[in-house]
Structure 1
Amino acid sequence: MARMASLGLFLFVFWLLLSGHYTVWLIGAGLIVSALLAVGAHFLGLADEEGHPVNRLGAGLAYWPWLAVEIIKSSVDVARIILNPKLPIAPEMFETKVGPRTPVGVATYANSITLTPGTITVEVDRERDTFLVHALTRAGADGVRGGEMDRRVTRFEGRAA
């Protein structure tokens, strides 16, 4: 029940942010539609731990700012490489071990690698707990291999790193 209420609240806040209009009619319609969607998602089994991981919100508030800084740093690095006439790239494909175990943790880690400019998660192998990653530079590859993101995502999913 708490997950359904949380999903309804999230949908309503999202509705308000996207709407930009705050008349009584639109707020009421948003409230009703959000509640109906939350109830429907609950009965369809979509408001589960994987579909709406509300219990990870606190951990996300610690992880997402760190990820945003990493994305900005990588963006600057990739821009420098592109603007350099010598184009100092050293593309590399490599496998890396995956620390996270839950579907939310694995998806967060794979997407975090891909969101960071210069690296892309190409393949997820759940049987061997590895990712196949493409990196534009040696430094990008070393950053993934260093394991800091892996440790932070492992903490995000609620396990000790």
Structure 2
Amino acid sequence: MTYAAGLVAILAGVWLLLSGYFDKPLLLGLGAVSVALVVFISLRMRIVDDEGLPVQLPAGLVRYLPWLVIEIVKANVDVALRIIRPDLPIRPRVIRVRAGQRTDVGRVIYANSITLTPGTVTIDTEGDHITIHALTEEAAAGVLSGEMDRRVTRVEGHG
């Protein structure tokens, strides 16, 4: 039921933004009826699932994104220092980690978060394992620590 309410809220918001009718009661009423009808029929036909429109993600992303931005900035500084100072070691390696996420959306967020962090690139995803190229041992250790994995799992609502 919560999922249906989330769908109704999202569709109603999109309808309001696209229609621009904020002051016509008849059109607002017809819009509300059409949104409710579309959600009812879609759920009844089972053409919408939790992964197709993950309404639970925004709350988790609000907590996750600031942490990710901080990690990206720290990794940027590290990679920039390694470029500027050639005496700092670069020891590339390929590692394989297990993704603890239960959904495809969660695994995509995890793999893309790894790739967004300078010094690491997601090479392949296969099942619940992700193959990663790390520029340094520290970058590999950061991924192997599992902190990002745990945080993305919490974004999914399972952690």
Report TM bin, short chain: 0.7 to 0.9
Could you state the TM-score of these two structures normalised by the residue count of structure 1? Answer: 0.72
Equivalence map 1:6-85=2 (5 Å): 6-8=9-11, 11=14, 28=20, 48-85=49-86
Give the TM-score normalised by the residue count of structure 2: 0.73
RMSD: 3.2
Cα distance in 2 for residues equivalent to 1:94 and 1:119: 10
Tell me the matched-pair count: 142
Determine the C-alpha separation between the residues in 2 that align with 1:52 and 1:27.
22
Task: Give 1:94 deviation, angstroms.
Answer: 1.0
Mapped to 2, the partners of 1:119 and 1:69 lie a distance apart of 15
After TM superposition, where is structure 1 displaced by more than 6 Å over at least 4 residues in a row?
A: none
Matches within 5 A, 1:1-161: 1-8=4-11, 11=14, 28=20, 48-86=49-87, 88-126=89-127, 129-160=128-159
Query: Match of 1:21?
Result: none
Return the offset for 1:150.
0.8
The SS at the match of 2:133 is: strand
Quote the offset at 1:2 in angstroms.
3.1
Shift of 1:4: 3.7
Once residues 131 and 67 of structure 2 are traced to their aligned partners in structure 1, the CA distance between those partners, rounded to angstroms, is 23
Counterparts of 1:76 and 1:105, CA distance in 2: 27
Q: Percent identity?
A: 45
Q: Which sections of structure 2, spanning at least 5 residues, go unmatched?
A: 22-30
Unpaired stretches in structure 1, ≥5 consecutive residues: 16-25, 30-34
